[in-house]
Amino acid sequence: MNKKAIITVDSAVLNEEEDIISVVTPGDFYEIEGGFKVEYKETKISGMEGTKTIIIIRKNSFDLIREGTTETKMEFENNKRTVSLYKTPYGVLDVKITTKKLDININEDGGTINTMYILEIGDQTALKTNLTIDIKVN
C-alpha cells in the first residue's frame, strides 16, 4: 500500500571540513516483499532536477537508485564494497562504495537509515560520508 511521507536526506562528508547537504521532500513509501520502497523527485536544490530517486530497503541492506537526468544504482551493505556507474548530463563516473556502518530501523510507519561509507569517484581522494535518511509517514 502506498503511503505519503516526508523524506529527509542528510549527507555529511567527514574530511577536513564537514560539508553537510540536507534535503527535505515529499515522497511515497511502500511496503514490498522483503522490505520497503521509498520514491521521491529530486529538486533544483539537490542539483538533480528531473531525477527520481528510489530506495529499496531490506533488513540488512539498501539500494539507492536514480532515474532521469542522473542515473545510478548504489548498493549499501555492511562491510561490503560495491562498484557502480554514475551517469550525469556531463558524463559517466566510476563509483566505489565501501559501507563501514549500516543501521536500518524501518517499519510500516517509516523510520531511519544511518550509514557511514567511503566514496571513491575515479582517481579522486576517497570521501568518508555519513548518510541519514529519515522517513516520516503522513
Instruction: Give the model confidence (pLDDT) of 49-98 as tens digits.
Output: 789 999 999 999 999 999 998 899 999 999 999 999 999 888 899 999 99
Domain count, the chain: 1
Domain containing residue 106: 2-137
CB 131, CB 115: distance < 8 Å: yes
Give the pLDDT confidence score for residue 77 in this predicted structure.
97
Question: Is residue 46 within a helix (H) or strand (E), and if so which, with residue range?
Answer: none
Give the pLDDT confidence score for residue 14 in this predicted structure.
84
CATH number for the domain harbouring residue 68: 2.40.128.20
Higher model confidence: residue 30 or residue 17? Answer: 30
* Nearest Cα residue to 75 out of 39, 46, 24, 115: 115
Question: Is residue 37 within a helix (H) or strand (E), and if so which, with residue range?
Answer: strand 35-41
Categorize the per-residue pLDDT at 103 as very low, low, confident or very high, splitting at 50, 70 and 90.
very high
Spatial CB neighbours of 99, under 8 Å, sequence gap ≥ 6: 76, 77, 78, 79, 80, 81, 82, 115, 116, 117
CA atoms within 13 A on the CB side of 46: 21
> What is the pTM for the complete model shown?
0.91
Angle in degrees, CA 10, 124, 76, rounded to 5: 45
Spatial CB neighbours of 40, under 8 Å, sequence gap ≥ 6: 7, 25, 26, 27, 28, 52, 53
Give the pLDDT confidence score for residue 73 in this predicted structure.
95
